A and B are shown apart, each in its own frame.
Chain A
Amino acid sequence: DIQMTQSPSSLSASVGDRVTITCRASQSISSYLNWYQQKPGKAPKLLIYAASSLQSGVPSRFSGSGSGTDFTLTISSLQPEDFATYYCQQSYSTHGAFGQGTKVEIK
């Protein structure tokens, strides 16, 4: 089974900072990688699909990149509403494993 590993597990950042979250797959998954945002007490929300495609309605400060085993979610200028937990998910196989999550907290 494909395992997904995110780093860091948590980070502290200030409004306006550029934030980068990394996701690594245990084997090549081409660009079959999705990113979700989850706020406390809420369901996850799709941000990025197919590694770099921005979901409709998601602000352009969010971007995704990568292919193969290494992927990145970047927030170009962190906004107050972006403090949340972010998850990657592989869709290369039918077993859609998630990463363990990265919590973005206020510094």
Chain B
Amino acid sequence: QLQLQESGPGLVKPSETLSLTCTVSGGSISSSSYYWGWIRQPPGKGLEWIGSIYYSGSTYYNPSLKSRVTISVDTSKNQFSLKLSSVTAADTAVYYCARGVIVVVPAGSPYNWFDPWGQGTLVTVSS
């Protein structure tokens, strides 16, 4: 059974870079049937998609965060990572990593969804 686990500092200072890693176990990160994503949730608020990385290496980012976000994959460690630069208090949130499932259909674009998710890790931005 595939499992994902986020790791990284729980406290980051304003203006610094937030760095998180998601370790995938129970399956390989190298498959064209999947992609890998980061989603965050500020305390008491809803879910916000941050970005995704595909098997091809292509990355897609939320336009509102694009200038500050980098997502990368390390296939040798079965991990993918998130870097968010120039953080402020507004970036305080629970950060989730998730596997994206891609299902190709005979006509039209592939369907895709996030499943499973990691348990999430709280990152607080404060001096």
Contacts and interface: CB of A to CB of B under 8 A. Distances in A.
Are A and B physically bound partners? yes
B118 A43 contact: yes
Given A95-B60, A96-B52, A101-B47, A46 B120 contact: no
Chain A contact patch, size range: 20 to 34
A43 B96 contact: yes
Interface in B38-94: 39, 46-49, 52, 60, 62-63
A34 B118 contact: no
A30 B47 contact: no
Given A1-B63, A94-B52, A96-B37, A43 B119 contact: yes
Interface of A is mostly: loop
B115 A46 contact: yes
A52 B37 CA distance: 23
A49 B101 CA distance: 10
B63 A95 contact: yes
Q: Which of B52, B63, B113, B116 has the most CB of A within 10 A?
A: B113
Interface stretch (B8-16, B17-25, B26-34, B104-112): B104-112
B111 A98 contact: no
Given A46-B115, A49-B111, A89-B113, A97 B49 contact: yes
A50 interface: yes
A107 B65 CA distance: 39
Contacts of A97: 49
A55 B101 CA distance: 12
B117 A30 contact: no
A44 B48 CA distance: 12
A98 B49 contact: yes
A43 B37 contact: no
Contact of A55 (B96, B111, B115): B115
A34 B113 contact: yes
Contacts of A34: 113-114
Contact of A95 (B62, B111, B117): B62
Interface of B: 37, 39, 46-49, 52, 60, 62-63, 96, 101, 103, 108-109, 111-120
The 8 closest A-B CB pairs, nearest first, are A43-B117, A94-B60, A46-B115, A98-B47, A49-B113, A34-B113, A101-B46, A96-B49
